[in-house]
Each structure stands twice: as structure tokens, then as C-alpha cells.
Amino acid sequence: MNSPALSLRHNHFLNGGSALASGIRLPRSISSSSTSSSPFRVRMSLQENGPSVAVVGVTGAVGQEFLSVLSDRNFPYRSLKLLASKRSAGKSMKFEERDYTVEELTEDSFDGIDIALFSAGGSISKKFGPLAAQKGTIVVDNSSAFRMDENVPLVIPEVNPEAMAHVKLGSGKGALIANPNCSTIICLMAVTPLHRRAKVKRMVVSTYQAASGAGAAAMEELVQQTREVLEGKEPTCNIFNQQYAFNLFSHNAPIQPNGYNEEEMKLVKETRKIWSDKDVKVTATCIRVPVMRAHAESVNLQFANPLDENTARDILKNAPGIVVVDDRASNRFPTPLEVSNKDDVAVGRVRRDVSQDGDYGLDIFVCGDQIRKGAALNAVQIAEMLL
């Protein structure tokens, strides 16, 4: 017997719900719809000549967002297969007024599939990604499984689309394409336009990362803990080993021998690969903060060539996928709340670094939706480039 239908549009946590205002969607004050500014947008939908699409990990936070983005961007598809673990198989899900049944992910799941969007964890990607590619499927993987594989392109469409130029839909050849880490995507969306103009020599990043980066269960636990703390109860700590509500702590990724955690080193290594620049110096400190679904990042830049703050601001205003929120008079700058459920990455606090001589340094503050541009939207944009 099938489980009750899962409604994509009514997942409170994925829609950015507040811990104190259940059922209320976050405001969209930056723009009513930010997808139209993207050069990678394709306006179509279910059609016979579209690719066959599979979503792997469809019941998770990013899997659900895959569906939301596919619908919002009218991505063309002739068929859609929803895949998850054996535990989730048999669940009913409604998408674009059609009923689907979630199927168990198996080695036979990719027969006849053109594009597969993966977000089911690294171990699943390592097992099933190459199998899918061998069957002719182009896999866009959201895990870290293949990001640093020199034979797998690591792509942000607005930053390095040329990295996947050799991958062609309809060629009969499968492929793996990696989605960068969420913090890397959000950072490089803002920094790359400036890098192209003045060449970044050194970048110092401090991240303030939302619960969504740890999955839907972490988002739910943040809500639960908030209620418990306000009621004077001990907070439930199942996902993290310490109180999350009304607190912040060093990112929960494992610590490496050099003292950095895995999340911080992802930003270092992925930046170098995406920019094809092994010499750029990057250091990061990643912090988990009690925010629902959008990351914030403080970025300090040192350039090889001079770049003043006014020119930088103009460059950012004309960059695809970027919105500048930099109102000094009103003290209004990007916030995680305002970018939640948005496609664009917001940039503000653009100012000369006074610790450096001349116009060779800038500080900026960046916010982006971790589930959307930091994961699902970027993957769908990669898929759009294949059309």
C-alpha cells in the first residue's frame, strides 16, 4: 500500500519556514522572481522531444528542490522517474498535476534515462553514478564523490561553462558532471566577476551556514530545538551533538590533520579547480548558524591588479545571477532571510580593504539560498546547458 502523497509545494521547512511562525513562507523582498535574469533559462515543459529525466534522492531536501526548480524553469522532459531508497519506494508524489510513485534505486534504474540529477549522498553516487554513465546517462551529481576527479568537470554555469563543453546530450555517451559544494558556488558566483577583471591572488572566506546544508532532518531539529529552548526544556540533539538553536559553532564536518575541516578544504580545493588556478591562495573558516536555508559569507579579496569599490559594484550589478544589495544610507545589506527561495545570490558591503595599500583589496558580504543556487538550481542549470 502506498504511503500518503507527498506534496512538493507544501514542505514547510524546504520553503524556508520560520521556527516561530509555522506555515508562513519567507518574504520575497529582493525580487518576485529572480530566475528570469539567468542566461541559462529554458521555457518548456513536458514534451515528447525532451530528454528522459531521473531524480535520485527525490525525498530529500535537495531532491524535493530539484523538482521545484524543474517546474519553475519549465525544464523540458518526456518522462520523469523518481528514485529513492527501498524505504521510500512506493510513496506517492504529485508533480505538475501528475501522480508519480517513488521507485527504489537499483542498477536497472537508468535504462533509457538521458539525464539523472543525483542528491543521495556520496556513497550512493559512487555506486550508481558510474553505472548510470555506462548506460549512456549524463549524471549531474550534487555530492562530493567526484568533485576532485580530474576527469569530471566541476561546474558553475555562470562561472566555467566551458568545463563541460565536451559533454553532449544525444551522443549516446554518458558522463559525470559534479555540482560544487554550496559554499563554493555562493562564494564564486560573487567573486568570479571580480576575479576576471583584477585576478584574485588571495581570498579569505568566513561562512555562516544554514541548517539546510545538513539536510531536512537538521532543519526540523532546529525548529524543534527552538521550541524546546523557549519552553525551558533540554534541546533534542540528534543531528548535531550540541545545541543549535540560539547558538553557533564550528562546522560539523570532520577536522583534517592540518586543522581545517572538510568543508573549509572543499572551498580551497574546488576554487582552484573551477578557476583552473592552482596558485590562488584560499583560506576559509566555516561556521554553522541557526538559520533555516540560506548561507552567508564574508569574503576578503586581494588582487593582482587594482580594482576600486565603485567599479567592483558596477561589475557585480551586471553579473548574471547576482543582485547587489548595498545601501549604506539605510544600512541595508544582504540577509539570509531575503535570499531564501531565491535564485540570485545577493552581494553587499562592497568596500575597499583599508589594511591593504591602494585599490588592491576588497571586502564583500554574500548571501545565497543553499538548497537552490547552492545545490538544485545549479544542477538544473547544468542540465539546461545540455539541451
Find the DSSP H helices in the chain: 61-72, 122-134, 182-198, 216-230, 262-275, 309-317, 336-339, 377-385
Distance separating alpha carbons of residues 96 and 74, to the nearest angstrom: 10
| Lowest-confidence region among 40-54, 167-181, 191-205, 321-335 | 40-54
pLDDT confidence of residue 46: 77
- Please state the rounded mean pLDDT for residues 142-163: 97
Concatenated DSSP letters of 307-365: --HHHHHHHHHTSTTEEE--BTTTTB---HHHHTT-SSEEEEEEEE-TTSSTTSEEEEE
Q: Which residue has the higher pLDDT, 29 or 79?
A: 79
pLDDT confidence of residue 47: 85
> What are the tens digits of pLDDT across the range 205-262?
999 999 999 988 999 999 999 999 999 999 999 999 999 999 999 999 999 999 999 9
Measured distance between the N- and C-terminal CA atoms of the chain, rounded to whole angstroms: 38
- What positions carry a catalytic annotation? 182, 295
Q: Are 345 and 339 spatial neighbours (Cβ–Cβ below 8 Å)?
A: yes
Please state, in angstroms and as integers, the Cα–Cα distance from residue 297 to each residue in 52, 132, 293, 328, following that order.
37, 35, 14, 18
User: Cell triple for residue 267?
Assistant: 572551498
- Please state the rounded mean pLDDT for residues 116-135: 97
Please state, in angstroms and as integers, the Cα–Cα distance from residue 330 to each residue in 297, 298, 327, 337, 342, following that order.
21, 20, 6, 18, 22
Kindly tell me if the per-residue pLDDT of 21 is higher than 70. no
Give the global pTM: 0.89
Kindly tell me if the per-residue pLDDT of 41 is higher than 80. no
